[in-house]
Structure 1
Amino acid sequence: MVVRKEIKKLADIAELAGVTAATVSRALSGHAQISPETRRRVLEIANTHGFRVNQAARNLRLGRTQSIGVIIPLGHESAQRVSDPFYTALIGRLMDGLAQRDHAMLLSAVNPHDPAWLENLTRSGRVDGVIVLCQSDQEAALRQVGRSYKPLIVWGETAGVDGDYCCVGTDNGRGGRLATEHLLQAGRRQIAFAGMTDIPELAARHAGYLEAHRAHGVAPGPHIPVPLSFDPRWSSLEHVLAANLGIDGVVAASDVIAMGVIRGIVQSGRRVPEDIPVVGYDDVTLAAHIMPALTTIRQDLGIAAEVMLDLLFRRIAGEETGSVRLPLELIQRQSA
């Protein structure tokens, strides 16, 4: 009769597997430095003997929560709603990636009236790291916290961050240029910019819009200060279109703004793209399905989520990482 050894602790598995207890711990937690064969052998022994890790005790010992905070700053004029299709798509991809890493998402939208809102979260012990979606108007808070709290990743404009925190985003200036040049090369000469310029991403897109005009020796068209939380009923759009009948193109700071602009143009009795072509920014899922389908600057949110999570978990492990600028491209459809 074979007596099965009782397994109560990691050292018991280590003895049977012929490895150290530290190796067993890493294998059970999925550590990347453990070979697939060693991990398979350790898991097989653990399963055979019904061994289960006390995850709560392990997390307490390691000072881990297995949760990541994903924060959307609200409260200023250009703030996007959490229901914005850009956010819903990016949050979904982040949640998928966290699930694959056995982490939960603590999602919250904050109105940052307290200057210490981010510092309070990072000191709360509720999360292992933080992803902030959009720099918003919170640059001071991001820089202050980022200098000492390393597991912080911010989605936004990477230029000017200067290493104070780790930022992931596209080259918004180049995106603004691409969108504008597409219309200029089509012979359009009264191109409006629809969007605010009060946060880093939007300021860079507008700067690219202006740069493209300078390069072509053309004066920029009117600025339509539409917030990212654009409501299609926004009355000022109709007033701008009525006061600037010469507008023959629009570069929008986001796809949601572009969709509202298209609606406003049609309601004014003009056509898209025949009278006024429109270019958006983001390439949200809806962009390909509205009529006319939206020409836009694509930010690949699948890549964005994976890069942010990779950098975050490397920083949680103690690695220093720099900011990353992701590729973008112009997607040409019917609206321009």
Structure 2
Amino acid sequence: MTDKSDGPVKSITDLARIAGVSVSTVSRALTSKGALNKDTRQRIQDLAARHGFQLNVAAQNLRLGRTGAIAVLLPLGHERGQHLSDPFFMAMLGFLADELTERGYDLLLSRVLPTGDDWLDTFIRGGRVDGVIIIGQSDQGAVLDRTAAHYSPMVIWGAYAARNRYLTVGTDNEEGGRLAARHLLERGRRRLAYFGNVAVPEFAARYEGFLSALPEDVRGQVDLVHAHVTPEASYRVAADYFAAGHRPDGIFAASDVTAMSVITAAAERDIRVPDQMSVVGFDDVPLARLANPPLTTVRQDIQHGAALLVDLLCQRLAGEQPDSIQIAPDIIVRESS
């Protein structure tokens, strides 16, 4: 097939004609979206290059009534000092970016500091995205419920609750708390503390699960220490706690970042981990295994969670109504306990 016999290529229809395929096949080849034979994809891309043809993706999306982008929002209603550099956020965002790229979507990222009850509806009305993934419920459950009543393509990474109107993917946080409690009890620890902000639904569920697995005499003596999740804030809380003379022999922290901050503060008070005090975190971020000592933690499968978030969102975009999913946690035992 020569350029002369191919004729002019002014549109995707022209390219489909000379390639001998459908318009939709050309679209999949040029956008690298959807299933297509590798040789066919390459042949169409070579034809397009030969004729200097470029697909106008923006115009195509406009005709289809789509943007080709998915928003990933991080609402920080309760932890306004938290940043995108948080190890959990970084890991989750990396996996989400990979999954969305595989599905042919761009990722639009926004860190949100809610100032009212209409921030989510206002964002959606902007029409910049085809759907929304929200990382963490924060203290915005009422906002999420209200939006979910009229906006379907939205999935939240967070704690499941039957009362929620919104779709969630998340770890079974209560079971994670129970795993931590059983592990500390197996280590002979009886004077326990929980470090975390129980105003956060996920952290509250971890605390409730932790308490539920403890004997009554131990449960009644657990210290609840309100700690924010940033390294600096959780370190200050832990340093003050130890300076006040508290000496638990086992600590369960709501996140790995908090757990590592606790270990740092304990070392400054000559509290030896794990000889005198066992510490268990939650998340299993990559830094957990590099901590000193390496951190025992409740692992939530963030990579699998990201894949589920994108899959459920795509189902919603296709008009389906999938159910929320809870992922079973595991405990990863390292030297800190």
**What TM-score, normalized to structure 2?**
0.88
Q: 1:235 to 1:184 in 2, by over 3 A?
A: same
Please state if 1:226 is matched with 2:232. Answer: no
- Please list, as runs of the form range in 1=range in 2, the aligned pairs for 1:1-336 lying within 5 A after superposition: 3-26=5-28, 28-30=30-32, 32=34, 42-43=44-45, 45-77=47-79, 80-160=82-162, 162=164, 164-214=165-215, 219-231=220-232, 234-243=235-244, 245-336=246-337
Q: Is the 8 A contact 2:77 2:139 kept in 1?
A: no
Q: 1:233 to 1:101 in 2, by over 3 A?
A: closer
1:199-252 alpha-carbon deviations (Å, 9 max, x no partner): 110011001111111489754421111111242675443443355645110000
Whichever residue aligns with residue 194 of structure 2, its letter is F
SS in structure 1 of the partner of residue 331 of structure 2: strand
Q: 1:78 to 1:50 in 2, by over 3 A?
A: closer
271-280 or 45-54, which moves further after superposition?
Answer: 45-54
**Sequence identity (%):** 43
137-146 or 75-84, which moves further after superposition?
Answer: 75-84
Q: Distance in 2 between matches of 1:311 and 1:233?
A: 34
Q: Is the 8 A contact 2:78 2:200 kept in 1?
A: no
1:156-208 alpha-carbon deviations (Å, 9 max, x no partner): 1123354x222111100001110111001111111111111111100110011
1:37-67 alpha-carbon deviations (Å, 9 max, x no partner): 7656655654554432111211221222222
Whichever residue aligns with residue 116 of structure 1, its letter is D
Whichever residue aligns with residue 72 of structure 2, its letter is V
Q: Is the 8 A contact 1:130 1:151 kept in 2?
A: yes
Q: Distance in 2 between matches of 1:57 and 1:77?
A: 40
Q: Distance in 2 between matches of 1:167 and 1:63?
A: 26
Q: Distance in 1 between matches of 2:234 and 2:320?
A: 48
Q: Is the 8 A contact 1:75 1:112 kept in 2?
A: yes
Whichever residue aligns with residue 119 of structure 1, its letter is D
SS in structure 2 of the partner of residue 231 of structure 1: helix
Q: Distance in 2 between matches of 1:33 and 1:320?
A: 24
Report how far residue 311 of structure 1 moved: 2.1
Whichever residue aligns with residue 155 of structure 1, its letter is W
Q: 1:315 to 1:42 in 2, by over 3 A?
A: farther
Report how far residue 304 of structure 1 moved: 2.0
Report how far residue 85 of structure 1 moved: 1.1
Report how far residue 114 of structure 1 moved: 1.8
Q: 1:307 to 1:35 in 2, by over 3 A?
A: same
Report how far residue 11 of structure 1 moved: 3.2
241-250 or 307-316, which moves further after superposition?
Answer: 241-250
Q: 1:207 to 1:53 in 2, by over 3 A?
A: same
Whichever residue aligns with residue 224 of structure 1, its letter is V
Give the root-mean-square deviation of aligned CA atoms: 2.7
Q: Which residues of structure 1 form unaligned runs of 5+? A: none
Q: Is the 8 A contact 1:213 1:219 kept in 2?
A: no
Whichever residue aligns with residue 211 of structure 2, its letter is L
Q: Which residues of structure 2 form unaligned runs of 5+? A: none
Q: 1:159 to 1:128 in 2, by over 3 A?
A: same
Q: Distance in 2 between matches of 1:18 and 1:185?
A: 68
Report how far residue 16 of structure 1 moved: 4.1
72-81 or 311-320, which moves further after superposition?
Answer: 72-81
1:254-276 alpha-carbon deviations (Å, 9 max, x no partner): 01110111112222221000001
